[in-house]
A and B are shown apart, each in its own frame.
Chain A
Amino acid sequence: MASREDIFTNKIFLCGALPLIKTIATDVPELAKKFKNTHAVVQISALDPEAPGGKYATHFVINSGEWVVHADKVSDKEHTNVELEFKSVEQMNAFFKGKIGPGTLPKMKGIVKNGGTFLSFMMVLLKMSSLLTATEAPEDEETQKLMVKCFFYLLTSGISTLNKQGHPEIKEWTSKSPDRVYALAVNDHPEVSAFLRIKAGKSRAGRGEYKRAMPFFTLRFDSFKSALGTLLGTDDMLDATKNGRIIMDGGPEFGAQFGGFLLVVGDYAK
């Protein structure tokens, strides 16, 4: 049986990291091309005796390049074309934390019949891994942009996921909050924005800009490079704030609170 911390980590992967496969597969033209004629259901799962149905999973429904993500949902067995099935939650966590070896490799189902889909899917998975494990910002702006977008999505989804899973500190924070939106943004690039709406214990992670009201707090960066400097921990936050690479739209005390929870997600997904 997985520990509570293992479950939190696993939910971050299922609901925060794995959904980025869709973002990468649709945003990178050479990868998008590979799914143009694909009609398949691909699932990543981890067996757990405590899970309803015996496993936790996220699955993707791909239809002619259109992706639908079903995070933390097990697909119908008959309709699953490709599946990467880990023996346990701990094994899946270890694999996605980079501990790849014979003990952590998943069982690969359906790869004989759907070799093409499997290979294309693995290429996206590898791309995601290279983006999320990078220690320095890439040189070209398109990759920087994709990386920032992925981090923004991962962090906002991660906080919302932990809230829904009852993470004590995050749950306490959302429970006491009125209807508020916290956003992550890069100047002049609304397409990478992400937000987190919280209210009385409820939360929702969203893509793009929140349109219904002005965010209560926005952590804004002046460029992709500045964003990656902070996200990868290669830039000094105080210096970045002083020199306008980080702009806090809202009360700094709320920024510190929000930033603290971003770090919590980062620690689980490290």
Chain B
Amino acid sequence: MRACDQLHTDICYQKANVKIVATHSGTSFGQAGSTHHALADLAITRAMPNLTVICPADGIETANAVNAAYNTEGPFYIRINRGFDRVLYQNMDYGFEVGKAVTVNEGTDITVIACGSCVFQAKQAADFLANSDGLSVRVLDMHTISPIDKEAIMKAVTETRRIITVEDHFVTGGLGSAVSEVVVDGGKACAFKMLGHPSFAMIGLQEDIMADAGIDANGIIAAVREVMNKDFEEDDNWDDEY
């Protein structure tokens, strides 16, 4: 962790106007092996005060994030892949704002909160589930991990009462942990499941690694079905009201 001192002391503590763009994040360079998987960076960076942490969903969002970083004073950490991400956004004008989640899909049954390459997978899963299971899945592109959009999270808790987080990162410390902190602080119960890498990932192409970790569209579909069968809160009063 000594290497993080530069980030901690020289950049964040000073609120220096430094912009860091970290490439090859998550398992995007999967075939290079576990030593080349960046799966703990969100946990480390989001713990740093004063640092804005962004994990864009695709190239368009990366462009928005870079613009925002350029126009905003203070340290930024932008986590990107290798340029092979699936295209989610068709143009720049979809309402990107630092610290504000983008609602990629409206829904009332459950909310999938994703970041990075997992947002496209979540959107695919939502489209599939709408057709196959008739489920209404809200998908939030939580591109800014720190400061996180508490309002969007609590709205999802209140309105859908079931949340799944998806990230190409260790399941501890990243997006899921950040969302869970907000939920716990909000004091309102909901069903909750975190998807991510439970441990070091296998060696292979990113698609294979994501499927293995259950963070691809099929993994998200399975998780949604599992959570939909859980009660978000005990309420077994089925007496009609008169």
Contacts and interface: CB of A to CB of B under 8 A. Distances in A.
B242 A204 contact: no
Interface stretch (B76-84, B158-166, B205-213): B158-166
B242 A69 contact: yes
A19 B242 contact: yes
A246 interface: no
A266 B134 CA distance: 26
B182 interface: no
B240 interface: yes
B136 A204 contact: no
B138 to A, nearest CB: 10
B159 A204 contact: no
A250 B242 contact: no
B108 A213 contact: yes
Interface string A74-117: 00000000000000000000000000000000000000000000
A71 interface: yes
A157 B240 contact: yes
Interface string B1-13: 0000000000000
A70 to B, nearest CB: 8
B240 A160 contact: yes
Interface bracket on A: 20 to 34
Contact of B109 (A22, A161, A178): A178
A108 B212 CA distance: 73
Interface in B143-162: 158-161
B159 A213 contact: yes
Given A179-B231, A250-B108, A214 B240 contact: no
B139 to A, nearest CB: 15
A213 B241 contact: no
A215 B242 contact: no
Interface string B124-140: 00000000001110000
Given A214-B160, A216-B136, A205 B240 contact: yes
A65 interface: no
Given A212-B235, A213-B108, A250-B136, A15 B161 contact: no
Nearest to B130: A251
B130 to A, nearest CB: 8
Interface residues of B, number: 21
Contact of B240 (A15, A22, A213, A216): A15
A203 B241 CA distance: 11
Contacts of A206: 240-241
Contacts of A214: 108, 158-160
A213 B238 contact: no
Given A178-B228, A204-B241, A212 B161 contact: yes
A180 interface: yes
Contact of B233 (A203, A212, A251): A212
A22 B159 contact: no
27 contacts: A15-B240, A157-B242, A161-B240, A178-B109, A179-B232, A180-B109, A202-B238, A203-B240, A204-B237, A204-B239, A204-B240, A204-B241, A205-B241, A206-B240, A206-B241, A212-B235, A213-B108, A213-B158, A213-B159, A213-B160, A213-B232, A214-B108, A215-B108, A250-B108, A250-B136, A251-B136, A254-B134
Given A15-B242, A204-B238, A216-B108, 17 more contacts: A22-B242, A71-B240, A161-B240, A178-B109, A178-B135, A178-B228, A179-B231, A204-B240, A206-B241, A212-B161, A212-B233, A213-B159, A213-B232, A214-B159, A214-B160, A216-B136, A250-B108
